[in-house]
Amino acid sequence: MADDTVTIAVASPFTGPAAAYGDNIKAGVSMKVAEINEAGGINGKQVEVEWMDEKCDPREAATVAPKIAQNKDIVGVVGHLCSSAHLAALPTYTRAGVPAISPTATNVTISEKNTDRRGRVWGFRNVYRDDFQGQFLANYVKDVLGLEKIAVFHENNDYGIGLKDAFMGEAEKIDLDIVGVEAYIKGAQDFTPQLTKLKNENPDGLFIAGYYGEGALIASQANMLGLDVVKFGADGLDNADYINLADTAANNTYMTVPFLAAAAGPQAQEFIKEFEKEQGRSLDWMSANAYDAAGLLLQAVAEVGEDREEIRDYLISIDSPEEAYEGVTGKTYFNEQGDSQKSAYVKMVKDEEFVPAPKQMN
Amino acid sequence: MLEQQLINGLTLGVIYAMIAVGYTMVYGVIELINFAHGEIFMLGAFFCMTFITVFGVPFYLAIFLAMCCCAVCGVLLDIIAYRPLRNSPRLAALITAIGMSIFLQNLALMIWGSRPRPFPKDALPEFFSQTALTFGDVKLTWLQLFIFAVTIAMMVGLNLIITKTKAGTAMRALAQNKQAAALMGINVNRIISFTFILGSSMGAVAGVLVSVFYNTMYPMMGYTAGVKAFAAAVLGGIGSVPGAMIGGVILGVAEALGAGYVSSLYRDGVAYAIMIAVILFRPSGILGRLVGDKA
């Protein structure tokens, strides 16, 4: 078995409340793997994927990680999707020496927890960090959108809290007024009490630090209560379903994304078309990042073979724009903490469609 | 702001009440906590959506068809999972209920996929999204009025069925003493099926209303709704139908006020704190009778 295949693991939520996000990852990785296999595989070996479901739950992730570590056929991991799950799995990966590339986990603390005792990085990510996103957003809404009074909604997990903290820290520095902060848990459906409370403060901007499922509900319920404000958030909002679910209430929402189809290069445009044909929906950044994360991991295998340690060494050696991996999301290379240096783009919803924001801030 | 919060809470509360009624009826009759009831609620939403999008059925008819489908599911659930365990220890049935809940969630995941779906809006009557009443700052939409009206109509209908029909009388007899009821010539299994039909079809309506109100449905939506409805049933006195209605409304309002005035993170906490307080000081719930009565 192991002799004629290369096996990678993909750890993400495939069931549970976050299953829809896991599907984005699955779509991206599947397309990369199919592409490689059709071209003859890696050194003549076909690539196989072990899909590991962790429900975006830290406990499940901590159970899945040892399974991956013990299966010696697995050369590395694409995942995890959620920051909380990624943080829970990292101790196992660093102890057992499993290279992991998260396409989506943006939490700040990951940068410190991804090294083993000798200080070698095992956890990589080809996405920016929340502190960058949060600070970026604070500056963007103040300078570009001219907002003054912001109400904050955040999901009560590592992603939402990290984003909120970075945003509020920066807001204080640049004199952006925060008029209320509300938290919610994943899967919550009713936000009317919190929105009613925030409405009394007359905000002109609503920051949604969470994912699109709940974000769409917040937007549409704000609309229902007559709270007509500019909505904005980070990459968690970026999915066609945000518009499907919130409908006209989605209009006037701004979001930072690591990947903007309209701003992508010619190689990416081809992939975007291919993706639309195969998946029947427009490309989201999660799938694009997952496609590149799998590509990066498999390029490492192609270069140095199936030894986990050598794959790690190879990945950390990609440390400058000259050596960067050229994927659909642009150039990916890592700093000494395993974090990639990516800029943020701003998208907005206009007439129930995603369009690039008229003004970028790069 | 208080008025708006009360309306927010009432809308949520009447929906909890509808789900809680299904729980409590099944418990009243066979003393089983039917954890799969939340999934029946979820299936109601998905059936309705499927009838509209795949078969092009109009909205009101789709609700009725979803009720029928869920009634069938409820009866099948009983026949397949609970009837064989009718005389086993209660714990066995409880575990089976949890198993069925997980099974149905994953079945829905396989059939409809994991992505959250909007409710097919084109099928909805035009006036739903319009504001019906405004007092000062407070807005009430036609949809909210529709939800109140449907809930009240269903509750009244249910009460009539339970108190005025033969099957309803048999249900109440069964709730008091299964053996004695059987000796009086009541077909126990048929009445239990009837209970599942009533509870499941109300759950289906609740599922449709929730997915219309929030414009979203996903396979896992039954879980939280189920837990909340369970709390509402306990609050009102498990086994008592009017209790479940009152419990649901109290829970919804308490949640809205808790989230609005205390902290949004404590909204579930407020709900459960009330439930725990009731269990501590009035174990039978607001309108329940002590289980000991039954022995």
Tokens of A94: 């660093």
With an 8 Å Cβ cutoff, are A20 and B218 in contact?
Answer: yes
Cβ atoms within 10 A of the Cβ of B88, count?
11
Amino acid A362: pLDDT: 63
Among partner residues B139, B223, B264, which is closest to A184 by beta-carbon distance? B264
Q: Pairing state of beta strands A353-356 and A177-184? A: unpaired
Query: CB-based contact (8 Å) between A213 and chain B?
Result: yes
Beta bridge partners of A208: A153, A233
Question: Each residue's pLDDT tens digit in chain B (295 positions)?
Answer: 788 888 889 998 999 999 999 999 998 888 888 999 999 999 999 999 999 999 999 999 999 999 999 999 999 999 999 999 988 888 898 899 999 999 999 999 999 988 888 999 888 888 887 887 887 777 788 998 999 999 999 999 999 999 999 999 999 999 888 889 999 999 999 999 999 999 999 999 999 999 998 888 999 899 888 888 888 998 888 888 889 999 999 999 988 888 888 777 777 787 778 878 888 888 888 887 654 444 3
Q: What is the pLDDT, as a whole number, of residue A30?
A: 96
How many contacts does A have with B, using Cβ atoms within 8 A? 100
- A223 and chain B: CB distance < 8 Å anywhere? no
d(CA A102, CA A79): 4
- Cβ–Cβ below 8 Å for A196 and B264: no
For residues A109 and B253, give the distance between their C-alpha atoms in angstroms, rounded to a whole number. 38
* B106·A15 Cβ contact <8 A: yes
Residues 133-152 of A with CB under 8 A from B: none
Residues 9-68 of B with CB under 8 A from A: 9, 11-12
Contact B8 A193 (CB under 8 A): yes
pLDDT digits (tens, 9 = 90+) for A209-228: 999 999 999 999 999 888 88
Using a CB-CB cut-off of 8 Å, the residues of chain A touching B218 are 17, 20, 213
Q: What is the pLDDT of residues A137-175, one digit of tens each?
A: 999 999 999 999 999 999 998 889 989 999 999 999 999
Q: What gap in Å lies between CA B146 and CA B117, rounded to an integer?
A: 22
Q: Choosing among B102, B145, B211, B215, which should be mutated to test the A contact, i.e. which has the most A CBs within 10 A?
A: B215
Best of A24, A25, A26, A190 to substitute, by most chain B Cβ atoms within 10 angstroms, is A190
Q: Do B264 and A183 touch (CB under 8 A)?
A: yes
For residues A196 and A225, is the Cβ–Cβ distance under 8 A?
yes
ipTM for the whole complex = 0.78
Q: Which residues of B touch A225 (CB under 8 A)?
A: 4, 139
pLDDT tens per residue across all 362 residues of chain A: 457 899 999 999 998 878 888 999 999 999 999 999 999 999 899 999 999 999 999 999 999 999 999 999 999 999 999 999 999 999 999 999 999 999 999 888 999 999 999 999 999 999 999 889 999 999 999 999 999 999 999 999 888 998 999 999 999 999 999 999 999 988 888 898 889 888 889 999 999 999 999 999 999 999 988 888 999 999 889 888 899 999 899 999 999 988 888 778 788 899 999 999 999 988 888 999 999 999 999 999 999 999 999 999 999 999 998 999 999 988 899 999 999 988 788 999 999 999 999 888 76
pLDDT of residue A34: 96
pLDDT number for residue B293: 45
Chain A residue with the nearest C-alpha to that of B106 = A15
**Would you state the pLDDT for residue B134?**
81
Q: Nearest-CA neighbor of A286 among A75, A56, A102?
A: A102
Closest chain B CA to residue A218: B214
B87's tokens:
């005389």
Type and span of the H or E element at A108: none
Element (H, E) at A236: none
Distance CA B40, CA B37 (A): 5
CA angle at A21 for the pair B213 and B50, rounded to the nearest 5°: 45
Contact A17 B109 (CB under 8 A): no
User: What is the DSSP annotation of A114-144?
Assistant: SB-TT--B-EEESS--HHHHHHHHHHIIIII
Closest alpha carbon to B9 in A299, A350, A196: A196
Closest Cα in chain A to B6: A193
Q: Encoding tokens for residue A336?
A: 């000494």
From the list B87, B106, B88, the residue with the least C-alpha distance to B36 is: B106
Q: Which of A358, A157, A326, A147 is nearest to A262 (CA)?
A: A358
Element at A254 (helix H, strand E): strand A253-257
Tell me the C-alpha distance between A244 and B15, whole Å: 24
Pairing of strands B138-141, B131-135: antiparallel
CB contact under 8 A, A247 and B12: no
Of B4, B114, B267, the CB nearest to A19: B114
Scan residues 205-234 of B and list those with Cβ closer than 8 Å to A: 210, 214-216, 218-221, 223-224
**According to the model, what pLDDT value does residue A2 have?**
52
- 3-state secondary structure (DSSP) of residue A13: coil
Q: Are B21 and B237 in contact (CB under 8 A)?
A: no
User: Which residues in chain A touch residue B214, judged by CB atoms under 8 angstroms apart?
Assistant: 189-190, 217, 220-221
pTM of the predicted structure, to 2 decimals: 0.79
A356 Cβ under 8 Å from any chain B Cβ: no
A241 part of contact set with chain B, CB < 8 Å: yes
Interface test with A, best of B5, B114, B221 (most A CBs within 10 A): B114
Residue range A60-81, pLDDT digits in tens: 999 999 999 999 999 999 999 9
The answer to whether A196 contacts B1, with C-beta atoms less than 8 Å apart, is yes
Cβ neighbours for A32, distance < 8 A, ≥ 6 positions apart? A290, A291, A292, A294, A295, A298
Alpha helix (H) ranges present in chain A? 19-38, 58-70, 83-96, 110-113, 130-139, 158-173, 192-199, 212-224, 240-246, 266-279, 285-304, 308-316
